[in-house]
Amino acid sequence: MNYKQILNKAKQLQPIDNALVSTLYTLSIKSQLTGIVSATLITIFLYSELAYSIVIWGTVLAALFGFRIYQAYLFKTTPHTYSIEMWHKKFMIFASLTALMLSSLSFVFMPYLDEPHQLFVVVFLVGSSGIAITSLSSDFRIALVYISLLMLPLFVSLLVIKTSLALMLAILIILFFMSQIGMIFNNYTEQKKVKELKEQKDLLHNLFSESPLGMFSYDTDLQVLDANKHLHAMFGRKDKTIIGMNINALSNRNIFDVFKNTFTQGPQSYRGPYTSLNGNHFWLEITAFSLKNSNNDIIGGIGIIEDKTKENMDKKELVSLYETLQIQVEKNQFLLKENKLFIADMVHQIRTPLTVIMTNASLIEMKTEAVISSYVTQINSAINMLSNSYEDLSYIISSDTIEYKAIEINLTDFLNERIKFFEVIAHANDKTIYPNIADDIKVTMNDTELERLIDNNLSNAIKHSYDKSEIEIILDKSNSVIMLKFISKGKKISDVSMVFDKNYTENHSAKRSLGLGLSMVKTICEKNSIDYSAHSEENTNTFTYTFNI
């Protein structure tokens, strides 16, 4: 590849236009003024070492800086004197001459300086290269030539000096040079990217401005680059305040994913709710797709937003009303079903003892006094059963409204009283209660709740045990634990894990149950931190309650 081909290739990488040349001359003015001051200061500093030779060098360099300032003035006032290409060529030539004059400090004067002054020259040239990179950043080709003409002679001069300090500085200079080259190419890449995005922005601007939909563009970092007036009006924002915002700030991550995924998954869409940053609620239809440059590289994306809030409000209200109605219908149906079952079971629970009372009352009228006592026992049993059912219902109805406060209770006496109450029912059902109760055991809880716990267990033991069987009640205390057990002989419970659940009943016989007793017991235990459990094996069922004191 010959010299002309290299130049053509370089021109293709960065076309020469008016904006490029104008930027070069504008930025050069300040750097030339700085150069004149620097040339004066270094001449004064090195005069003691180099005498009139450094004065000549400083004068020539200052004149060159001054001539370049004049060239910048001519470009600003009479730009049509030359073509853009010629102005660019003149700038490149004089910039290269400036770099050569500065680098002459290293290969002409540095060998005659001592180490402190050599170090000063190195610092000066490094600083000059940093200033040049900034002022020449708009054209990476001139920047590369300038930094090479400045640093490479310095690197060679340091190697020639052959001192340990010079060698170390040479290594640092070559590393600095490489970093500057990298910086120039990074800057060129960024400028190229910005230019491509600007071209895309210009193409889309007219479409954005006149579209009846909200539209905006964003870069690969999800930064909003442009947004039309309709989008600002949609969200009640002042003109152009959306521009510069980052989509990462969106609280709705589904919408965020729509815009982000366009880079990897192609066009995306979203239909649903959105709450803006100022708290307004919308229902939006969003479509997003990526933007690509001429090399088919993704450089950003386009978002199109349509406000469907008004259209969706009526539909949402109808759906809400329908769902509310469905919930109420289902709830009412469930309550109706529960009430029917409850009433049927309650009627059965009350009918049985009433039937016993009525039957035995009739028999009393027919029998002699000698056999009356058995019928009275049946009647008393039925009355006690009714009383127990009434107390259960009373507690269920009032537990949400009445505060059942805890008091200290002699559990031994309390349990004996409840057993005495249920002995009539047990005797009427041809069953026997055997208490095994320790003396003087006390607990702290509400007496009504303790009564419901004990009565429901005694009632269940009598109801579900075999005829002519024994029911054992055990109360014992060990250390800080009080153990209360109800042991009865009956059919094995099919699922002890569910026996404390509401409405759960065992279908062992024709006997019916509300399925509320043990559920009530469970609630009371959990309220009073009482551990409860059920154990069932063939012919024996045990319910255990542990009071921690």
Three-state secondary structure readout of 219-241: ECCCEEEEECHHHHHHCCCCCCC
Residue type, 59: T
Q: What is the pLDDT of residues 395-441, one digit of tens each?
A: 556 555 677 888 999 999 999 998 988 888 888 888 999 999 999 99
Is the per-residue pLDDT at 348 higher than 60? Answer: no
Count of C-beta atoms within a 10 Å radius of residue 433: 20
pLDDT over threshold 50, residue 508: no
Tell me the Ramachandran region of residue 240: left when phi exceeds 0, alpha when psi lies from -120 to 50, beta otherwise: left
Domain ranges in the chain are 3-194, 211-307, 369-548
Going along 446-505, which residue ranges are E strands?
Answer: 470-478, 481-488
Query: Among 199, 249, 247, which residue's Cα sits nearest to residue 224?
Result: 247
239: CB partners within 8 A, 6+ apart? 229, 232
If you average pLDDT over residues 165-183, what whole number do you get?
85
548/475 Cα distance (integer angstroms): 14
Domain 211-307 and domain 369-548, same fold? Reply is no
Please state the φ and ψ torsions of residue 509, each to the nearest 5 degrees: -155, -170
- Distance, in Å, from the CA atom of 30 to the CA atom of 399, rounded to the nearest integer, reads 88
Can you tell me the mean pLDDT for 276-290? 83
The C-alpha atoms of residue 6 and residue 11 are separated, in whole angstroms, by 9
Q: Which fold has domain 369-548?
A: Heat Shock Protein 90 (3.30.565)
Contact residues for 304 (Cβ-Cβ < 8 A; gap 6+): 213, 214, 215, 286, 287, 288
CA–CA distance, 354 with 335 (Å, rounded to integer): 28
Contact indicator for 475, 484 with CB cutoff of 8 Å? yes
119: pLDDT strictly greater than 80? yes
Strands 540-548 vs 481-488: parallel, antiparallel or unpaired:
antiparallel
81-111 residue pLDDT tens: 888 889 988 988 998 898 899 888 888 888 8
Token pair of 126 as six digits: 């490094």
- For 78-224, where are the alpha helices, taking DSSP H only? 84-104, 115-135, 140-161, 164-210
pLDDT attached to residue 486? 95
Q: What is the mean pLDDT of residues 148-153?
A: 88
Considering only residues 419 and 134, tell me which one the structure prediction assigns the higher pLDDT.
419
Per CATH, domain 211-307 is 3.30.450.20: yes
Q: What is the pLDDT of residue 111?
A: 84
Q: Identify the pLDDT of residue 9.
A: 57
Q: In Å, how far from its chain's centre is CA 168? A: 52
In whole angstroms, what separates CA 107 from the centre of its chain? 62
pLDDT for 512: 45
pLDDT for position 177: 85
Is the confidence at residue 201, as pLDDT, over 70?
Answer: no
Q: What is the pLDDT of residues 351-402, one digit of tens each?
A: 566 566 656 655 665 665 555 555 565 565 556 566 556 555 555 565 556 7
Crossing angle between the packed helical segments 140-161 and 84-104, to the nearest 10 degrees: 10
Q: Looking at residue 429, what is its pLDDT?
A: 85
Mean pLDDT of 36-51: 88
Q: Which amino acid is at 121?
A: V
Express each pLDDT in 63-80 by its tens digit. Answer: 998 998 899 899 889 988
Over range 212-238, report the average pLDDT. Answer: 82
Does residue 228 have a pLDDT over 90?
A: no
- Please provide residue 370's backbone torsions phi and psi, each rounded to the nearest 5 degrees: -65, -30
Region 302-328: mean pLDDT is 83
Q: Give yes or no for a contact between 29 and 72, defined as CB atoms under 8 angstroms apart.
A: yes
Give the mean model confidence (pLDDT) for residues 449-468: 89
Distance CA 536, CA 104 (A): 105
- Identify the pLDDT of residue 509: 47
CB 536 within 8 A of CB 492: yes
Q: Tokens 């759960």 identify what position? A: 504
The pLDDT of 323-336, averaged and rounded, is 79
Q: Which of 81, 60, 80, 74 is nearest to 28 (CA)?
A: 74
